C-alpha cells in the first residue's frame, strides 16, 4: 500500500496594514540606546544614511540640570527590520540625570521615509517624536559624587583625580 505524505501548506503570512510605531526599548547607563518598531521596516544598505538629517537626538534638561553639560554625539551601530541600536556619547556623562529630576532624551524622526515599513506605510506624524527619561550615566549617584567633591583638596596641579569605590575615575579641572 502506497501512502503519500501530504504536507500541510503554511498559510501565507498576512501582511500587516499598520503603520510602524517607534519606541525606546532601552537606554543603558553606558549610553546604549535601542529603538524598536512595532512593524518590520526596510533596513538601509549603509548605516551612515541614518544621521542628523534623519534623526534629531538631543537631551532635554531636567530641573537643575545645566544644558551646556548635556551635549552629546551619537552613532548608529546596527539595524534590523525591528530594531535600531545607537551609541550615545555624552560630552559630560557624569552630569546626565545627576539630579533628582532626570534629564530626557528627545528623539525626532526628521525623515520618515528612511523608516518605511515593509508594507509601504510610514511612521505617522504623531509618532515622530519620542521622549524618554535617561538613567544616570556611569552608574554614579549624585550623593557619591558630592561626597567625593567635598573631600577634594585644592592643589597646585591643574587636575585632581578622584577614584570611587566602583573603580570610576573622574578628572576634574581646577581653574
* Residue among 59, 54, 56 at smallest CA distance from 72: 59
Q: How far apart, in whole angstroms, are the C-alpha atoms of residue 60 and residue 64?
A: 12
Beta bridge partners of 85: 34, 78
* Check whether domain 22-138 has CATH 2.60.40, yes or no: yes
pLDDT, tens digit, 9 for 90 and up, residues 11-51:
445 566 899 999 999 999 899 999 999 999 999 999 999 99
Q: How far apart, in whole angstroms, are the C-alpha atoms of residue 60 and residue 46?
A: 29
Angle 60-66-69 (CA atoms, 0-180°, nearest 5)? 90
* Residue among 18, 23, 47, 17 at smallest CA distance from 128: 23
Torsion of CA 116, 88, 52, 67, to 10 degrees: 130
pTM metric for this prediction = 0.71
Cell numbers placing 19: 503603520
What residue spans define the domains of the chain? 22-138, 140-175
Q: How far apart, in whole angstroms, are the C-alpha atoms of residue 62 and residue 79?
A: 30
pLDDT, tens digit, 9 for 90 and up, residues 108-167:
999 999 999 999 999 999 999 999 999 988 665 555 555 555 555 444 444 444 444 444
Amino acid at each position: 500500500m502506497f501512502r503519500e505524505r501530504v504536507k500541510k501548506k503554511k498559510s501565507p503570512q498576512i501582511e500587516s496594514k499598520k503603520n510602524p510605531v517607534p519606541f525606546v526599548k532601552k537606554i543603558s547607563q553606558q549610553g546604549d540606546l535601542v529603538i524598536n518598531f512595532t512593524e518590520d521596516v526596510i533596513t538601509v544598505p549603509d548605516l551612515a544614511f541614518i544621521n542628523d538629517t534623519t534623526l534629531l537626538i538631543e537631551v532635554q534638561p531636567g530641573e537643575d540640570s545645566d544644558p551646556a553639560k548635556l551635549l552629546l554625539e551619537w552613532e548608529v551601530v546596527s539595524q534590523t527590520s525591528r530594531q535600531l541600536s545607537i551609541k550615545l556619547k555624552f560630552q559630560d556623562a557624569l552630569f546626565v540625570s545627576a539630579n533628582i529630576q532626570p534629564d530626557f532624551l528627545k528623539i525626532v524622526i526628521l525623515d520618515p521615509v528612511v523608516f518605511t515599513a515593509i508594507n509601504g506605510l510610514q511612521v505617522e506624524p504623531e509618532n515622530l517624536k519620542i521622549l524618554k527619561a535617561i538613567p544616570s550615566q556611569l552608574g554614579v549617584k549624585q550623593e557619591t559624587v558630592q561626597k567625593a567633591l567635598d573631600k577634594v583638596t585644592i592643589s597646585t596641579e591643574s587636575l585632581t583625580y578622584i577614584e570611587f569605590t566602583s573603580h570610576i575615575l573622574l578628572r576634574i579641572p581646577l581653574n
